[in-house]
Amino acid sequence: MNEVISSTIQSPGEGLREVWGWFDVSQDDRARVADLSPLMEQNIDGILQDYYSRDGGYDHPSDENTSGSMQEVRAQQRRHLLELFDAGLDQKYFEGREAAGIFNESYGISPSFYMGLYTYAINRVCELVQDSCEDAAEAQTVQRSLRKTAACHQALTMEAFSTARTEAIEQRERQLSELPTPVLRLQEGLLLVPVVGTLDSHRSRLLTIQILDAIRDQSARAVVLDITGVAAVDSMVANHLIQTMTATRLMGAYSVLTGISSEVAQALVKIGVTGEALNPAGDLERGVATARKLLET
Amino acid sequence: MNQLAPNPAALLQRVKLDSDVVAARQMARQLAVELEFSRPDQALVATAVSELARNIVKYAQDGDIEICAVTSGPRVGIRVTARDQGPGLEDIDLAMQDGFSTGNSLGLGLPGTRRIVDEFDISSAPGKGLTVTVTKWR
């Protein structure tokens, strides 16, 4: 078997070659694993059945009761497991790992559950190899090739999982930073704007536009800007607020800033931000009172 | 004076996004609370970290903030190191002046941070990134 190197084994692309290298997976290893493919195809359903129906390991009900998405998960897991034996095929295999990682991430299949299934399946295949090989040394060689390749296979999938997770988080962060801020009408001519989250330049630009539009549409003459919910108030946030409030003033409306804690106020002053431009008024209650007074003048 | 050797107990925050600024800031505040800094001083430490982290996001896009507790005799303090591999500073003295900014901001980040900490050390060269180390004693 050692000499039988399948001609279908392609030489790996650059990225994959490096990873095979880390795991010490040679072309021979890949060929040996590919040769196990018929054995695996014969036995995979039995192995998965045993895995899912074991006591204690996996507490989902049997096939009849499983929901559509669970069946989808099982079908994909079967496919991803079979792909391990396609390890000889280069680029398609590599893309398959990426797809598997993204699938696991989006279906919430945790790395531990994923690893559990693989460890179980690989051990079962190793037993089958043991039984089918007459030569113990050869069985060992094949098993070693399979374990190395499987470890690499899992690592690639986990890496894709982690990349997908990071992308999901970044996506959510972008969505969050683009959350619109409500501009509320408190009474005729008086608007309240509660700002929540982080205030970066993109968001503060949106905020400015929103406030200016609202001032125009509602002929507002005073705006209370409440930043109790802004996560990090520093000189950059102060700068954005000053610009927003200056623009408000140019539209003919007064603005009042509320929601700065006393500690943050002291820190801002020490840094060198001056209070005049921000027109701060302590808490929201005092801010609204101040704004009402401005309306009367 | 303490050595600036890598501290195994240091907290490290990668700084790339605006949300990392918030994370670094919270980390610093948490340590200030644990070390029993007064409430105004907690805000100063948090603000200093915030300013340094903002600078990284704005000018270098990627870097890290290291925060650790330091002692010197009976004194307890917090040391913050902000490191990036960004464009660095052409003229450190100019960057330390109030109101100087290449980025349309208030120009208070670095000089303002120097005012609210006890020790301030800055090293940079064009193209070599920027490292700022500050210490605030309790």
pLDDT of A224 reads 93
Do the Cβ atoms of B95 and B105 come closer than 8 Å?
A: no
Structure confidence by residue, pLDDT tens digits, A256-290: 989 887 777 878 888 787 766 677 777 888 889 98
Q: Indicate whether A21 pLDDT > 90.
A: no
Measure CB to CB from residue B112 to each of A198, A232, A235 and give the nearest one. A235
The CA distances from residue A177 to A124, A225, B23, B57, in Å, are 49, 18, 15, 15
Better pLDDT: A179 or B27: B27
Nearest-Cα residue of chain A relative to residue B44: A267
Strand partners, A257: A225, A280
8-state DSSP, A177:
H
If you average pLDDT over each of A6-15, B65-74, B99-108, which comes out highest? B65-74
Do the Cβ atoms of B124 and B89 come closer than 8 Å?
A: yes
Contacts of A158 (CB under 8 A, 6+ apart): A101, A111, A114
Q: Indicate whether A103 pLDDT > 70.
A: yes
Exposed/middle/buried for residue A70 (C-beta within 10 Å: 0-12, 13-18, 19+): middle
Least confident of A68-72, A218-222, B20-24: A68-72
Q: Which domains does chain B have, with CATH numbers?
A: 11-137 (3.30.565.10)
Mean pLDDT of chain B: 86
Q: Within an 8 Å CB–CB cutoff, is residue B118 touching chain A?
A: no
Q: Are residues A270 and A198 in the same domain?
A: yes
pLDDT of A6 reads 47
Q: Which of B62, B48, B60, B69 is nearest to B20 (CA)?
A: B62
Structure confidence by residue, pLDDT tens digits, A217-258: 999 999 999 988 887 788 888 888 888 888 888 988 988 989
Q: Indicate whether B119 pLDDT > 90.
A: yes
Q: Within an 8 Å CB–CB cutoff, is residue A234 touching chain B?
A: yes
pLDDT of A236 reads 83
Structure confidence by residue, pLDDT tens digits, A145-201: 999 988 988 998 998 999 888 888 888 877 776 677 888 999 999 999 998 877 777
Using 50, 70 and 90 to split pLDDT, how confident is the model at B63? very high
Separation CA A265–CA B44 (nearest Å): 10
Separation CA B23–CA B27 (nearest Å): 6
pLDDT of A9 reads 61
pTM exceeds 0.95, yes or no:
no
Chain A neighbors of B17, CB-CB under 8 A:
170, 173
Q: Indicate whether A48 pLDDT > 60.
A: yes
Do the Cβ atoms of A100 and A83 come closer than 8 Å?
A: yes
Does residue A3 sit within a domain?
Answer: no
Separation CA A73–CA B20 (nearest Å): 34
Chain B neighbors of A273, CB-CB under 8 A:
106, 108, 112
Using 50, 70 and 90 to split pLDDT, how confident is the model at B6? low
Using 50, 70 and 90 to split pLDDT, how confident is the model at A5? very low
Interface test with A, best of B19, B100, B113 (most A CBs within 10 A): B19
Residue percentage of chain B with pLDDT more than 90: 42
Residue A50 belongs to domain spanning: 14-175
Q: Are residues A153 and A227 in the same domain?
A: no
Does residue A131 sit within a domain?
Answer: yes
Do the Cβ atoms of B137 and B75 come closer than 8 Å?
A: yes
Instruction: Look at phi and psi of residue A58 and say left if phi exceeds 0, alpha if psi is from -120 to 50, else beta.
Output: beta
Q: Are residues A18 and A146 in the same domain?
A: yes
Contacts of B6 (CB under 8 A, 6+ apart): none
Which token pair is A293? 């007074």
Nearest-Cα residue of chain B relative to residue A260: B43
Do the Cβ atoms of A279 and A293 come closer than 8 Å?
A: no
Separation CA A84–CA B138 (nearest Å): 58
Q: Are residues A244 and A220 in the same domain?
A: yes
Q: Indicate whether B34 pLDDT > 90.
A: yes
Q: Give the Cα-Cα-Cα angle A121, A127, A133 (nearest 5 degrees).
A: 130
pLDDT of A4 reads 46
Nearest-Cα residue of chain B relative to residue A238: B106
Across A101-130, average pLDDT: 88
Q: Indicate whether A139 pLDDT > 80.
A: yes
Q: Which of A219, A288, A296 is nearest to A255 (CA)?
A: A288
Residue that is written with structure tokens 């605006």 in the block? B18
User: A144, A175, A206: which is the final residue of a domain?
Assistant: A175
Using 50, 70 and 90 to split pLDDT, how confident is the model at A8? low
> How many alpha carbons lie under 13 Å from residue B108 in its C-beta half-sphere?
21
Does residue A8 sit within a domain?
Answer: no
Q: Within an 8 Å CB–CB cutoff, is residue A235 touching chain B?
A: yes
Q: Are residues A110 and A223 in the same domain?
A: no
pLDDT of B118 reads 93
Using 50, 70 and 90 to split pLDDT, how confident is the model at A88? low
Interface of B with A in 119-138 (CB under 8 A): none
CA A151 to chain centre: 24
Q: Are residues A55 and A170 in the same domain?
A: yes
Separation CA A82–CA A40 (nearest Å): 7
Q: Are residues A235 and A205 in the same domain?
A: yes
Using 50, 70 and 90 to split pLDDT, how confident is the model at A1? very low
Q: Which of B128, B92, B17 is nearest to A200 (CA)?
A: B17
Across A81-109, average pLDDT: 82
8-state DSSP, B59:
I
Separation CA A75–CA A103 (nearest Å): 12
Does residue A270 sit within a domain?
Answer: yes
